[in-house]
Amino acid sequence: MFEGQGRGDVLIRVAVDTMGGDFGPPETVKGALQGLDTHNIELLLVGDQDLLESELAHYDIKNKPVKVVASVGKIGDDEHPIEGLRRKPKSSIVVATKLLKSGDADLVVSMGSTGASMASSVFILGLMDGLERPCIGGPFLGVAPRTVLVDMGSNIDCRPPLMLSFAALGSVFSQKFLGIDNPRVGLLSVGSEAAKGNRQVHESYHLLQESHLNFIGNVEGMDFFTGRVDVIVCDGFVGNILMKFTEGLGTALSHYVEQRLADHLPAAELAKVSSDLWETTNMPRTMGGPLFGVNGMVMLGHGSCRASGIAGAIHTGVRCAQIGMVESMRQELAQLSSTEVLKN
């Protein structure tokens, strides 16, 4: 689906937060080892040492580049992220992020608390110059695999300058990861006309129009499927609703298809059709979501991800590390900050 797939020549050291996610080490370890089979990587499995060693005993890892890095505890979804960082300084996500900061890892992958992962990244790695907050972006629909959505849900309230920064980061991802030259950027609104939308959209429209980005104007929800835009920008409130809606729709359609075609297709074929339908509407669960705007490559995933989703997030992160995604985003933000657009 994406350019540049393969093992690659450069070894990428991947720190995996094995305590994150709904299923913990049994699933995170399994997914990480699947990633090891298809990429030139070294695995740094961060978590409870006893649990990890017990889990690894089920696999033949002799002479394989797999290391256990001990941590204490995890920050749960029900904990305030910043408070969790203070109370649990040796938690798995903190230890994994510190490995990236120290240069002992090239990539962090976590299926744990999104808030904790973002807070850990911001406080330990730091934000790129010219950015107020990080965001999550990437393709989210299998039927539109080359259309990037940003922000997927990390920022509920966004001022227009932040929307411009998100657009720039999404444009870099589209160009570097998907190989799209001069990506077309659209602002999600209730109509394609410039006058449509709320105050946030109007002010963001002006900034995008004055920027160096290839801004084509407002776009609507249907434009995810029309091919007229490569990067669609919205705040995290709208982006998360979009993502959760399509996830739920995919599940509902899968069940509907199973019921309607149960008497017409063999069970195995029906299961494949249902699974394919679900995957087309749940792309972040199969490839993860890159965290844009921090000084290090961090991949986040849904807590319900199974091994294949964890391996998919590793694949995406390794590809981003190989092509120098973080440095390219730094350069883009520096160019944006040097213009008069954000100074007015």
* Rounded percentage of the chain residues whose pLDDT exceeds 70: 95
User: How large is the average pLDDT for residues 250-272?
Assistant: 86
* Per-residue confidence (pLDDT) for residue 143, from 0 to 100: 79
pTM for this structure?
Answer: 0.88
- Answer yes or no: are the C-beta atoms of 119 and 87 closer than 8 Å: no
Which tops the pLDDT comparison, 1 or 198?
A: 198
Least confident of 42-56, 257-271, 306-320: 257-271
Residue 155 has pLDDT above 80, yes or no: yes
Predicted confidence band of residue 277 (pLDDT cuts 50, 70, 90): confident
Residue 342: what pLDDT? 55
Cα angle 118-310-233, degrees, rounded to a multiple of 5:
50
Residues 6 or more apart whose CB falls under 8 angstroms from that of 193 comprise 218
Residues ≥6 apart with Cβ < 8 Å to 300: 110, 111, 114, 117, 118, 136, 288, 289, 290, 291, 313
Average pLDDT over residues 81-100: 95
229: helix, coil or strand?
Answer: coil
Nearest to 253 by CA among 226, 278, 286: 278
Task: Give the pLDDT of residue 331.
Answer: 93
pLDDT given at position 123: 95
Number of helical (H) and strand (E) elements in the chain, helices listed first: 12, 11
Mean pLDDT of 2-27: 78
* Averaged pLDDT for residues 260-264: 85
Is 304 or 106 the better-scoring residue by pLDDT? 106
Residue-level pLDDT at 21: 84
> Amino acid identity, residue 79?
E
The answer on pLDDT for 343 being more than 60 is: no
| Angle formed by the axes of helices 25-38 and 49-56, nearest 10° | 60
DSSP string, 89-103: TTSHHHHHHHHHHHT
Least confident of 86-90, 187-191, 194-198, 321-325: 194-198
Q: How far is CA 242 from CA 64, 150, 227, in A?
A: 41, 11, 18
Least reliable range by pLDDT among 6-10, 43-47, 333-337: 6-10
Cα dihedral 247→76→25→136 (10° resolution):
50
Rounded mean pLDDT, 127-155? 89
pLDDT of residue 71: 95
pLDDT above 70: residue 344: no
Q: Which domains does the chain have, with CATH numbers?
A: 1-131+293-324 (3.40.718.10), 132-283 (3.40.718.10)
- Predicted pLDDT at 3: 41
pLDDT at 2 > cutoff 50: no
Whether the Cβ atoms of residue 292 and residue 299 lie closer than 8 Å to each other:
no
